[in-house]
Amino acid sequence: MPGASRHHWGTDFDIFDAGAIACGHRVELVPEEFAAHGPCGQLQAWLEEHLNGFGFYRPYREDLGGVAPEPWHISFAPSASGILEQFPETLWQEQLKVSAIEGYECLAPRLDELLDRYLFRVTPPPRN
């Protein structure tokens, strides 16, 4: 949802190894592409070893009942952690209400539940 996607914060992005993707293959960002023998397997191994050293981590590392595991999704912890901790839930809900988002009447009764499940239920950043 607008404003509740970590991508919208500018702290998170999806990454893949473009050089390892076969010509004509359309990247889908699925777990198979990041498996050991998948086209992004070497990137996955490199990220496992070095990601945290650059301040990044994986908020969707494991299935916590919210967003499914996404090994391609990385987050810059020093910036993202503060945004998550201080996420303006009331302001966000007010802005959704006054926006012209289609289907708002279906979302409105579930906003607290959706935030808990998809925004706050994430793997915490490592303690370095």
Q: Which helix (H) or strand (E) holds 81?
A: helix 77-85
Name the residue nearer to Zn ion (CB basis): 58 or 73. 73
Contacting range for Zn ion; rule: CB under 5 A; set: 7-15, 18-26, 45-53, 86-94: 7-15
* Total residues at interface with Zn ion (CB under 5 A): 2
Q: Does 48 bind Zn ion (CB under 5 A)?
A: no
In angstroms, the CA 69 to CA 78 distance is: 21
3-class secondary structure, 56: strand
Contacting range for Zn ion; rule: CB under 5 A; set: 15-23, 49-57, 71-79, 93-101: 71-79
Residue nearest to Zn ion (CB): 73
Contacting range for Zn ion; rule: CB under 5 A; set: 6-14, 38-46, 74-82, 93-101: 6-14
Q: Pick one of 2, 14, 54, 104: the residue that binds Zn ion (CB under 5 A).
A: 14
Question: Between β-strands 12-14 and 73-76, what pairing exists: parallel, antiparallel or unpaired?
Answer: antiparallel
Q: Pick one of 17, 33, 34, 73: the residue that binds Zn ion (CB under 5 A).
A: 73
Q: Render the burial of 94-115: b for 16+ CB within 10 Å, e for the rest.
A: eebeeeeeeeeeeeeeebeeeb
CA distances from 83 to 14, 18, 19, 86, 120 (A): 18, 30, 33, 5, 11
Name the residue nearer to Zn ion (CB basis): 15 or 107. 15
Interacting residues with Zn ion (CB under 5 A): 14, 73
